[in-house]
Amino acid sequence: MKMRSTVPMLVAKAGYIVMSAVFCLAGLMFMIWPDISKGSLGCLLGAYMIVFGIIKIIGYFSKDLFRLAFQYDLEFGIILMVLGMIIFARAPDAINYIFIAAGIAILADSLFKIRIAQDAKSFGIHSWRVILILAALTCLLGSLLSMFPWKSTKLLTILTGASLFSEGLLHLCVALSTVKIIKNQYPDIIDTDYSETEAVNK
């Protein structure tokens, strides 16, 4: 039987790690330089969402061994791409909605990661507690960002940076601890021709 290619899994895992680093760097940048222009902030957030949405969709179809990190990523990847395109296109005119959309996306993703932490515990993955703690922290920051009552763009940018940094750490932890790639992985469904041939030989 032909083995499953590990290329999509490697691409998805590498993409997760790279985007996690980008999220952390972007978060630090927003916290250090909160006076960034509204247009630039929106364009950066939109671009991050679009790229990360693509990586999430690739991850969903990669089918790594544990199937933990990417199990909810088809629908969420599509949502991220759509939100990213809207934010990217409307960046200069809808700054308040940009923060709300980013907060909701971060909140939703962290809730999925809480579920992944629970699944990782049942798999015996020791770092499930770290995933759970980071997911809870990211959930709190995402909630604050989506419901932030003040009008200060500077404070919102700092909170966005903290949320992105926490989100980056969360994804990095999930990618490194739950994405298991092996070279000898078989497809999930045995080809019909193969099974019939085996039956005849037996």
Say what the pLDDT of residue 135 is.
94
41 and 98 Cβ atoms separated by less than 8 Å: yes
Categorize the per-residue pLDDT at 141 as very low, low, confident or very high, splitting at 50, 70 and 90.
very high
* Rounded-to-integer distance, Cα 122 and Cα 116, Å: 10
Say what the pLDDT of residue 165 is.
95
pLDDT tens digits along 47-77: 888 888 888 888 778 766 556 667 777 888 8
Q: What is the pTM of this model?
A: 0.76
**Domain coordinates in residue numbering, the chain:** 7-180
Say what the pLDDT of residue 133 is.
95
More confident residue, 202 or 141: 141
Say what the pLDDT of residue 42 is.
75
* Rounded-to-integer distance, Cα 127 and Cα 197, Å: 44
pLDDT tens digits along 84-97: 888 777 766 666 67
* Rounded-to-integer distance, Cα 39 and Cα 89, Å: 10
* Rounded-to-integer distance, Cα 106 and Cα 116, Å: 15
- Encoded amino acid at 132, one letter: L
pLDDT tens digits along 6-39: 676 777 788 888 888 988 998 999 899 888 776 7
Structure-block tokens of residue 177: 């601890």
What percent of the chain lies above the pLDDT cut of 90?
Answer: 16
Going by the DSSP 8-state scheme, the letter that residue 35 receives in this structure is T
Which of these ranges, 64-68, 101-105, 156-160, has the smallest mean pLDDT? 64-68
- Encoded amino acid at 73, one letter: D
Structure-block tokens of residue 127: 């770092």
Minimal CA–CA distance to 77: which of 61, 96, 100?
Answer: 61
What percent of the chain lies above the pLDDT cut of 70?
Answer: 77
Mean pLDDT of the chain: 78
